[in-house]
Structures are given as C-alpha cells and as structure tokens.
Structure 1
Amino acid sequence: MAFMTQPYSDKKSGIWKIRKGIPKHLRSFLDGKVELKRSLETKDAHVAKARAAGVIAEFESVIALAQSRFDNRENGQKISSAQLDAIVSYWVAYEHGRLTQADIQARYLLETPEGLEGMTEWFSEPLEVLFKANGTSRQQTEEQRFVRHMSAFVDEALELSQCLLYDHSARLYLAIQLSKACIRLCNSAIDNEELTRRKQGLILRELNRDFEPTLPYTNIEPTDPSGDALQQLKDLGFRVTAMTTSSAAPSKQKEGELSISSSVSQLIDWVNNQKKIVISEVAFRSWQGDRNRPCERLIEFFADKPIGEIQKLDMRNFFNWIIRCPSKPSQEIRALPFKKQIEIADKHGLARVSINTADKELKLISGYFQQAVKLDILPKNPCHQVSPGKETVRAIRDPGYSNAELAKIFSLPLFSQRTNAQKARYGEAPYWLPVILAYTGARAEEIAQLYVKDIKQDSDNSERWYFHIQEIRDDQSVKTGESRKVPICQTLIQLGLLDYLNTLPAEGRLFPILKANNKAKYHLAVARYLKEAFMTLDIEHFDALKPLHAFRHRFITEARKVMREDVQNAITGHSNAGNTGRNYGIYSELHQAIEKMPVIDIPKWCFK
C-alpha cells in the first residue's frame, strides 16, 4: 500500500496542511497514529508549496526512525533465553574482574559510620515491588519502572555483547537477572581481599533510590572475564566487545568519559545520559525537548573546542551570535546550519531571536556546564554573569481573556455540538479542556494528562469532587513537582463533567484520544486546533496571547477578587504556594473559595 504525502487546503479555514499515512506495522511506535499531520500556517498556495518540502523530509525521517525501531524489535524478539543468560553471565564475569576498582565498588558498597555495607536494598527492594505487582493492575507500570531502574546495567551488558534489544519482555528478563547478580556482587565486594587497602579511596556516596549521576560510567579499563563466559557468547552467535588489560593511554577520549578536554557535544551527551537515568522517560523527553535547540547552537558555535578552554568572553560572543539567528525560521531555513540562517536573516531582514529568548537559552546551557563544575572538572561556569539580562517588554495587553472574549470563545459551535471529524481527532477534549481550565486555573498539560481515576470524591463529603494533579504515573508530570487537589465547582458538575466520566473506561485517560508528542505533551495537538478556532473570533492582539494559558491568567485575575492569595496559590499550584495546599486537610476552604468564582455562560455538554 502506498502512502502519499500531499499538501491540501482545509475547506473550512483555507489554511494549507500536509499529511502522510503511517504504515500499519509502524503505528505502535508512533503512539498509534495512522498519519502524520502538520499545518503549513499559510493560506497562500505558493508559500505552502515551499514549506511542504521541509515538512515532508521531517515526516520521512520520523517514518525511517520508526522502521528502524521495528527492525530492531523484530531482531530482539528472536533472541533466546539461553542467549540472554549468556549476556548476563558474561557481564557478571566482566564485573567481577573490576571489583577491586573504587568506582566499581561504589556501585555495590556504602560507607556508613558503622562501617561498609552492601547496597543490596537498592536492587532487592524494587525487585520485591515488581514481584508483588505480578498479576495486578499495576504489573505493567511496575515492569516499566523496574526496567528503567536497571537500565544502566542492562545497556552496559548489551553493549558488551554488541546486541541491540528493544523488546520489553527481553529487557525485563535481563533487568531481573542482572539485579539478582548485583545482589551477589554486593556480597562479593565486601569479601574482596583488597577492599581494606582501597577503603580510603572508596568513593563516598549516599544510598539513594535513584542512580547517582555518574553511576553507569566507570571510566575504567576492563579486565578479561573468564574464558568460559566469553566462549559461551561466541558459541551463541554474538560479536563481543574487545577488552584488553593494556595500560597504554587511549589516543581518543573513551565514550562516556568527561574531562576538561571534552567537547561541548560530549558534555551535552554525558549530562543527557545522566539525566535519563534518574527521571522517567516521559519527563526526560520533555526536559530534553526544551534544550535541543540551544544545544544545537552551542555545538555548531564551539565545534570541537575543549570545554576547559571556553571562557566568559567566548560565551558572550556566543550570546551575541544567538540574537543574530532568525526567531521563527521557515522549515527550509530551519534545516540549514545556524551560520547560514544568520546570512539569510541578514540578507532578507528577518526577525531575530530576542534577548529574553537568548537569556533563557543561555540559562539552559549553563546547567550543562554547572554539572562539570560540581564534579570538579571545570573550576567555574563560563556562562555565569554573561547575559546582559532580560529586556523590559511593555505588555501589549493583559495575558488573560476579558469577559467579552470569554463569551465569544464559548459561543463557538464546537461548544454546542462537535462534528464526527472533531471527535475522531480529539474526542471531547476541545470542549472539556477549555471549560476545565476556565473554572480551575490549572495548566493545560496538568489536565490533559489526567486519568479518570484522578477525578475523585472528597472522603469527608461525597458531594465534593476534585482533580488530583500528581506525578504518580510514568506519563504524568507537574511543573512544580508537588501534587495538589484542585476542587471541582458545582458549575462544572452541572455542565455534565460526571456524566462525561461515566462514558469512559474506569482505568483509562480523561481524554483517551489525545496522544503525547515527542516532548511528552498531551495537550499540544488539541491546543493547535483550538488556536485555529479562536483565531476566527478577531480577539484583539490574539498573537500576544497563549490561547490555553490565557484561561489560567483570567482565573487568577478573578480569584484575586474573591479569595486570599494563599488559597489561590493552593488551587492553581503556583510554585510559591509552599505547603499551603497540603495543610487544608479536606480542602473545605478551597471548595468554598472556588464556589465564589463567577459563573461563565457555557452550553451544557451533550454526548451524541
């Protein structure tokens, strides 16, 4: 079956868009999507044609990556349990040969005031949680959590055997067997005859439920494991990573090593890999997505220059280089090197990156250098005090909607009756997401990522309901990191919120049609759709607003009139709310406060 990529003009809006069908066997790797879609953000056919090429290239890249993952999974599914056991045996033999080294001992030992202790609990407790979840509704979640917990060891074992493995069940098997082996290695490390002589050099680390930032990278030349384990791998058809005991210094820096001679790209890769270990996959995707563009600029600007040679003056020159880049380049220009983008911006007078944006990018980059400072690799952070500071920007308008604008928005046809096409693409999210935001002041992603079970009754008053915003699942995150309970006002219930919940599977998501994008965000697709709908209303200075976030600003403005600031912060989850929200017990005061908010004229939800 051929999947054509053709731009087309949307009949309703006139805006040109582009789509590409996804082969059926690849859809599971792309969140179940049947096609890739993108607005070309123009009504001009010639402009659309010019922009389409870059989007098509991007779509082809996405499909190619999915095909690669499919191929790797197919190969992974062919691996036998005997081969997996051989991988574990080879890694154990490899690890035993390094137990005299301080960095390796730090994986398994902890120095306490009472003496050395094996870190067996770090491996045994998650393993026990995994076994207890077997056969329960939490089995899949705990399996994923456990594989992530052991991912550094799994990846290291696979790298030794030069094996790519994506299949979940195979990686889970490896994770379990490796954790059991690590428990045994904890005891072996304590019994090692050379341990007392190396005690003073042992790295002091606190026992932590998460990996320490430097855990998976040892920077140690391995010693040869037993010949039996090596031969077993070869007999099973594996190519094995060569390991030597030579003391000669390598001509190039080893992968995973970090020093003052490292390039900025090596620094970025190193920090990214450490971050990936200690946070969930969905949180990492979001974290990395914010840093991709600044890091791309950094790598191009400094190339192979060692991080130890980068000074503040270099970073100031880099900052000045950022603000020469175009701020919103087209797809074609975006695919070019930044140096070429600057030349085009100079030639055609394109809008440039603002000082505020450059300041934000520099702060994100500073975090990478700060990690090297913390590890005493760099004496100081070259990004500190480089930015001239943010520009004072005169606000064009209040960032929230006015009452008149709110009335226009909720008078749109989509709030009265949604088409089958709308439901197929977004479900009931176009109605409920703006309505909930208007009545709670929550952030759009906080609501978009909710599950049905996150809408709960107050245990002390069955008439009261609340949204439980928290990070309990792998695909949920909260900006401040603190969970909170947001009261549901009676108006939301009267609009049919509970009726809507009754149409959904109890174990499912609040908006089951929405899928996370490559930054792990669920709300962005429907946000783009709503933005296009709101654009038809001729809202003054609409381009200065964030269409969904403006509901939050409007809620806060109205809340100031009817409730104390600490109560308002507890509801909206402002970072300066502190422990206020948790100290309200059954949240009766929050419920009382939110019921004082003005009622908005919104058509009642209708399910057809």
Structure 2
Amino acid sequence: MAFMIQPYSDPKSGIWKIRKVIPKHLRPFLDGKVELKRSLETKDAYEAKTRAAGVIAEFESAIARALSRFDNQENEQRISSAQLDAIVSYWVAHEHGRLTQADIQARYLLETPEGLSGMTEWFSEPLEVLHEANGTSRQQTEEQRFVRHMSAFVDEALELSQYSLYDHSLRLYLAIQLAKACIKLCNSAIDHEQLDRRKQELIRRELNRGFEPTLPNTNIDPTVPSSDALQQLKDLGLTVISTSSSAPNKQKEAELTLSSSVSQLIEWVNNQKKIVSSEVAFRSWQGDRNRPCERLIEFFADKPIGEIQKLDMRKFFNWIIRCPSKPSQEIRALPFNKQIDIADKRGLARVSINTADKELKLISGYFQQAVKLDILPKNPCHQVSPGKETVRVIRDPGYSNAELMKIFSLPLFRQRTNAQKARYGEAPYWLPVILAYTGARAEEIAQLYVKDIKQDSDNSERWYFHIQELRDDQSVKTGESRRVPICQALIELGLLDYLNTLPADGRLFPILKANKKAKYHLAVARYLKDVFKTLDIEHFDFLKPLHAFRHRFITEARKVMREDVQNAITGHSNAGSTGRNYGIYSELHQEIDKMPVIDIPKWHL
C-alpha cells in the first residue's frame, strides 16, 4: 500500500529529516542506494513541513527516472544498429536545416587569421584516441570519456527523436556515429558560410552599381532519412516530426489577449522587437532579457497575464532574490526552484536586490507593451520593487598609475603563448592597450574590422578608429558614429604592423566570436579578468576590468583637454551636440597626443 512520505525529527539532534526507501529492483539505477535521505536543516516542525514538499518532489522524480530506466531495459536490448542509425539520420537532416543559424555554425567553424576553418579536430581527434585504446586496458576509460565528450549531441539527437537511452553501449554507438556526421557537417558549414559571404558581397556590389542583385543559390540540400528509417523510428514508438521544406516553419502568430500566458506575451513582444531591429541589436536586446524571462515563465507557468497583480509581482521579486547569484554550470542547468533549494542547503550567495530590481524593470517592458495596446489595464510591475540598495563607493572605478604598471608588466604583454593565440589571437595584448590610449568601450573596439582603422584624408600621418554601426554585427551604445584619433604612442607600439598581418577585409580580432548577446569582447574579458586577479589590485572585485581603462583615461584627460574634446573622443552619452559633432578634427589628434605615455612592451608577432 502506497503511503505519503513524512518528515521525522531525529531523536538525538532534534533536526528534522526525510527519507524514502528505494524498491529493490530500482537500486542498481540509483548507484546501489537502499534509500534516499536528506536533512531539512531545521528544528522547527512548521518550517520542516514547508521544506519537505520540495525534497519529496525531488525524491519522486529520482524514483520515476530509475523506473523509466528499469522499464526501458527490455526495449533497449532489442534496439538494432539500423534503428540507431535512423536516430542519427533524423538528427543530421534537422541539423542541415539549421546551418544558417550563427550559433549552429559556431559548433563547426573556427575563425582564424587565415580565414574560416572547420572544427573537424574537435570530433576526429577523440575518435582517434578511442580507436587507439580499443583492446587495451584504457578502452573502458576512453569510451566513457568519449561519450561524455559527445553527450550534448547524443542528448540532442535523442530529444529530437523523443526517446531515452541509458545503456552505455548504445550511447557509445550513437556518439561515434554522430561524431562522424559532425565531421561532414564542418565541411557543409564552411561551404554555406563561404556562399553566404559571396552572396553578401554580390549584394553590395550590385547595389553600388544601381542594379537589382541576382543572388547565387545558397541552399544546402538536407540529408533526409529514408522512409525505412522513419518507419524504424515509428516502430520504436518515436514521434516523427516532418522535415519537409513544404511544411510551415512556424505556427501562425497567436493573438495577444488577457488570457495569454507570460510565455506568449514574451514571444509576441520579441517578434515585434525583431521586426524593427537589426539582427545584432535584437540579439543583444534579447540576451539581456533571457534570464529574467526564464524566471518569469517558471514562476507564473500558465497563469493568464490578465490575472497577474502587483502582489504576485512582489512575490516574484522576493523569489528572484532567493536564487543563487553565480550558480555553477551544473546548477544553472536546473529549474530555478531546484537552484533555490541548493542555495538554501549550501548557503550560496543570492541575487542582490539591485540585480532583481534591474530584472524587474526589464520584465516591466513586456507588460508595458500590452498596456500601450490596451490589452492590460495597468502594468503589474509598477512600484513593486522595494528600491535599490545603497552601494557605498569604495574606490575610484579606474586604475591608478601603479596598477596600470602592474598590468602591463604581465608576461602576456611581452609574449603570448600558443594557447592564448589559439583562443584569442592578439586581442589579450591589443584590446587593453587600445582601451588605455583611447578611453573607448571594450565592445566598440572588439567589433571593429580592419577597414575601420583609417588614414586621415587631409594628413596621411594621422590614423583613427571609425566607430560606427556600419554592419549588421556592429553597434554603438549611443547610436552615433565617431572618429577616435590614434595617438602616436599606439603607432610606435606597432599597431600598423599588426594591421598589416591581417586580411584587409577581415576583423581586427578575427578569432573572437560573438556570444548569444552579440558581444565580441566578453570571452577575452573573462580571460583578462582572471589574469588581472593575480596582481592583488585593491578591491578588484568592485572594478570592471576592461571598463576601468576608460575611467582612467577620462580621469587623465580632464587634466590636459577641454570636456567637449574629451567627450568627442570617448563618445560620452552626455557629451551634448558640441562633443558629438566636434568640427575641428585635427585638434582631437593634438589633444590625445598630450595624454601621458604608458610604459608598455612593444608588440611583436
């Protein structure tokens, strides 16, 4: 007879605990455990009862997964290699259809100084190691390592086919076949990217000549699984989704009403934003809102937006500040409710009131769109936040001269290792150096192309960075382009020599790739932050490591130039019309050369 799990008080410690006996036939699937048990970490009966609900749900979920694996044993023993091949074929057809997407291309392409290169080694080298270990004492270890290496692809293929596999040998087979398929996809991704670049170049050339562009065919024919393969999937009990190009790509956009869920509200607003924004601007805008929106969807589930009141949003706000602030990758993959449970048990740092306030403002924007269209009578987010915490400024947000000397004395400014070059190219050297001498924002420099570094038409000895939103993958915080003069110190450090090593139509930092928020500087910024941490800079955690170069530049600029000149160089948001449209460009060069010279080792390849 089934019975409800109940917490109990430990007679010795008085702390409430909870446990559930695991059925004998399921124990092999739960690491051989006899029971699941957990301390509720409280001596209060009422609090224990409240905490027990989440733990019980977690226990039941673990038992359900074990039961699924037990029930699946018999079915898995009957699965043939042909049926596994059907799962792989189905995934390959789906992946071919997504090769136009930047985040999918990033799986298979690597941008190097010589141009695009397929990431075949990421798949082929582990395959070679696995093959060499066959029949040796290392075979089992390498098999497990290879399955872990390909686990994301295996799980994705299984999820696409709506099936679960737990047997090691079956997952190993899938991992090997998927790795072989990925090697071919690397070549397909290169072909598509090259065709796409030819297409864009043709558009620009034809439009400049005043003609209607005739575009080459850039479609890649997907490898569609055979009817036999699809039937095998059906025989396994899988739900097969048609990959036919004649099928509609997306459902008709639903009408937004009071009964719409928050996920429908988010989707509707995102679609409206996408219509009026460039791709890079939309990706950046959406990237800032992904995490708050994920929290909103989990908290409110299917509750209609017309029923959400201010009190509900206050509860949501209080729920946000219980979430861990910097969860590990493993914790981040869990639902937020489970993240909160783990934060409670481990005493992890929580989301700050300031961060929660910022997230609520971003969420408010979605509801405000519905208010503007008279779908909602009022915005339930208004006046919900208790306000920001007052943060006491501990230090100046820029580097001191002594700290700057420490930074540019690091080994990476004398010689980059092969590992640094493979991951970031020359960005670890040039990005901090350029920021220190220009006061520009990190992303403004990281997104530049070689052609954005130009000679002054009136004086060939003068060069400047042209910061602008010329291309789809470029954005400027203020929305206004500007010319930032290149001081003589940067040229003496070898900036022009570095440019001569790069393809004329390529990027200033060709290896850096945009993340989901369309930002190019974040990966190298994280790396430099870890390096700068080793210098014991006072209150380093309160600094923004790359932005601190901008603050330091502005501080020094105040000593040698007028505010309007300084604003024209830095593109400061409160520059006013004088700063933004500064007319005497030669004076910008004269003034920036007055800035103090920093002791930095000269760049060499």
Q: Kindly tell me: are residues 31 and 272 of structure 1, through their superposed partners in 2, closer, same or farther at Cα, counting changes over 3 Å?
A: farther
Whether 1:32 aligns to 2:104 is no
User: Distance between the aligned counterparts of 1:63 and 1:445, measured in 2?
Assistant: 35
1:504-526 CA deviation, whole Å, 9 max, x = no partner?
12111111121222222211222
For 2:393 and 2:122, the matched residues in 1 are separated by 36
Cα distance change on mapping 1:131 and 1:352 into 2, 3 Å = closer
Counterpart in 2 of 1:476? 474
Q: 1:431 to 1:386 in 2, by over 3 A?
A: same
Aligned to 1:270: 268
Q: Which residue of 2 aligns with 1:210?
A: none
Match of 2:310 among 292, 309, 312: 312
In 2: Cα distance, 1:132 partner to 1:538 partner: 50
Give the deviation of 1:408 after TM superposition.
0.8
Contact 2:438 / 2:570 at 8 angstroms: preserved in 1? Answer: yes
Corresponding residue number in structure 2 for 1:402? 400
**What's the % identity of the aligned pairs?**
80
Give the superposition deviation at 1:28. 3.9
Aligned to 1:606: 604
Find the aligned partners of 2:300 and 2:390 in 1 and give their Cα distance: 30
1:464-492 deviation line (CA, Å, top 9, x unaligned)? 21111111101111112111111111111
Tell me the CA shift for residue 461 of structure 1: 2.4
RMSD: 4.0
Tell me, what secondary structure is at the counterpart of 1:396?
Answer: coil
Q: Quick one: distance in 1 between partners of 2:394 and 2:358?
A: 21
Q: Deviations over 1:26-66 (max 9, x none)?
A: 884437233889xxxxxxxxxxxxxxx99986687789999
1:133 alignment counterpart: 205
1:452: how far off?
Answer: 0.8
Contact 1:31 1:516 in 2 (8 A): no
Please say if residues 36 and 59 of structure 1, whose CA atoms lie closer than 8 Å, have aligned partners that are also in contact: no
The 8 Å contact of residues 359 and 389 in structure 1, kept in 2 or not, is answered as yes
SS at match of 2:265: helix
The change in CA–CA distance for 1:56 and 1:392 in structure 2 (over 3 A counts) is: farther
Structure 2 match to 1:288: 286
Aligned position for 2:440: 442
2 CA distance for matches of 1:570 and 1:444? 17
TM-score by length of 1: 0.62
1:323-334 to 2 correspondences below 5 Å:
323-334=321-332
Paired with 2:149 and 2:323, the residues of 1 have a C-alpha distance of 21
Q: Give the conservation status (yes or no) of the 8 Å contact 1:54–1:335.
A: no
Quick check: 2:450–2:499 contact (8 Å CA) kept in 1? yes
Secondary structure in structure 2 of the residue aligned to 1:463? strand
Q: Note the C-alpha offset of 1:588.
A: 2.3
**Counterpart code for 1:32:** L
Contact 2:568 2:581 survives alignment (8 Å) = no
CA distance change for structure 1 residues 31 and 582 in 2, over 3 Å: closer, same or farther? Answer: farther
The answer to whether residue 362 in structure 2 is matched with residue 349 in structure 1 is: no
Cα distance change, pair 31–585 in 1 and its aligned pair in 2 (3 A): farther
Give the counterpart letter for 1:349 in structure 2: G
Aligned residue in 1 for 2:550: 552
**1:123-522 mapped onto 2 (5 Å cutoff):** 133-134=205-206, 168-169=218-219, 255-522=253-520
Q: Deviations over 1:213-250 (max 9, x none)?
A: xxxxxxxxxxxxxxxxxxxxxxxx87667xxxxxxxxx
Per the alignment, do residues 170 and 257 of structure 1 end up closer, same or farther by CA in structure 2, a change over 3 Å counting?
Answer: farther
**Pair 1:475–1:240, CA change in 2 (3 A):** closer
How far is the alpha carbon of 1:569 from its aligned partner? 2.0
The one-letter amino acid of 1:134's match is E
Find the aligned partners of 2:320 and 2:275 in 1 and give their Cα distance: 30
Deviation at 1:536, TM superposition (A): 2.0
In structure 1, give the amino acid aligned to 2:401: N
Cα shift at 1:135: 8.9
Residues 455 and 464 in structure 2, CA contact (< 8 A), matched pair in contact too: yes
Q: 1:470 to 1:62 in 2, by over 3 A?
A: farther
Indicate how the Cα distance of structure 1 residues 261 and 496 shifts in structure 2: closer, same or farther if over 3 A, else same: same
State whether residues 280 and 474 of structure 2, in contact with CA within 8 Å, keep that contact through their aligned partners in structure 1. yes
Q: Give the Cα–Cα distance (whole angstroms) in 2 for the partners of residues 433 and 132 of structure 1.
A: 30
Aligned mates of 2:570, 2:256 — CA distance in 1: 41
Q: Could you give the per-residue CA deviations for residues 139-182 of structure 1, whole angstroms, max 9, x where no partner exists?
A: 99x99xx99xxxxxxxxxxxxxxxxxxx84589xxxxxxxxxxx
Map Cα deviations across residues 381-423 of structure 1 (whole Å, 9 max, x no partner). Answer: 2112221221111123222111111101111111112223322
- Secondary structure at the residue paired with 2:463? strand
Does the residue aligned with 1:266 lie in a helix, a strand or coil?
helix
Structure whose CA Rg is larger: 2
How many Å apart are 1:604 and its aligned residue? 1.1
Tell me the SS of whatever aligns to 2:567. Answer: helix
State the alpha-carbon separation in 2 of the partners of residues 304 and 468 from structure 1. Answer: 48
State the distance in 2 between where 1:138 and 1:300 align.
51
1:333 is displaced (CA, Å) by 2.0
Provide the secondary structure at the position in 1 that maps to 2:485.
Answer: strand
> Which consecutive residues of structure 1, in runs of 5 or more, have no partner in the other structure?
1-22, 38-52, 78-128, 148-166, 172-236, 242-252
Name the amino acid aligned to 1:354: S
CA deviation vs aligned residue, 1:411-465 (integer Å, no higher than 9, x gap): 1111112223322222211111110000011111110110111111222222221
Describe the shift of the 1:138–1:414 C-alpha distance in structure 2 as closer, same or farther (beyond 3 A): farther
Q: One-letter code of the match for 2:433?
A: V
Q: Distance in 2 between matches of 1:291 and 1:521?
A: 15
- Which one of the candidate residues 526, 529, 537 is aligned to 1:528? 526
Residue 392 of structure 2 aligns with an amino acid whose one-letter code is R
DSSP 3-state at the match of 1:534:
helix
Shift of 1:592: 2.4
State how far apart, in whole Å, the 2-side matches of 1:530 and 1:490 are: 25
How many corresponding residue pairs? 422
1:320 shift after superposition = 1.3
Distance 1:138 1:28, change over 3 A: farther
User: Partners in 2 of 1:564 and 1:458 — Cα distance?
Assistant: 22
Structure 1 residues 502 and 130, CA gap change in structure 2 (3 angstroms): closer
Q: Deviation digits for residues 51-90 of structure 1, max 9, x if unmatched?
A: xx9998668778999989x99x989x9xxxxxxxxxxxxx
Hey, what's the Cα distance between the residues in 2 that align with 1:303 and 1:138? 52
> SS at 1:575's partner residue?
coil
**Structure 2: how far apart are the matches of 1:417 and 1:571?**
30
Whole-angstrom distance in 2 between the partners of 1:328 and 1:380 = 33
Distance 2:458 2:555 in 1: 30
For the residues of structure 1 that align with 2:604 and 2:338, how far apart are their CA atoms? 53
Q: What SS does the corresponding residue of 1:584 show, helix, strand or coil? A: coil
Relative to structure 1, the CA distance from residue 528 to residue 436 in structure 2 (aligned partners, 3 Å threshold; closer, same or farther) is same
2:29 alignment partner in structure 1: none
The normalised TM-score by structure 2 is 0.62
Distance 1:168 1:315, change over 3 A: farther
| 1:584 alignment partner, one of 582, 585, 597 | 582
Contact 1:280–1:474, Cα closer than 8 Å, also in 2:
yes
Output the CA distance in 2 between the equivalents of 1:58 and 1:527: 26
- After superposition, where does 1:38-187 map in structure 2 within 5 Å? 133-134=205-206, 168-169=218-219
Distance 1:555 1:494 in 2: 19
Structure 1 contact 484–581 (Cα < 8 Å) conserved: no
Alpha-carbon distance in 2 for matches of 1:416, 1:400: 23
Tell whether the 8 Å contact from 1:323 to 1:353 is kept in structure 2 after alignment.
yes
Contact 1:261/1:306, CA 8 A, preserved across alignment: yes
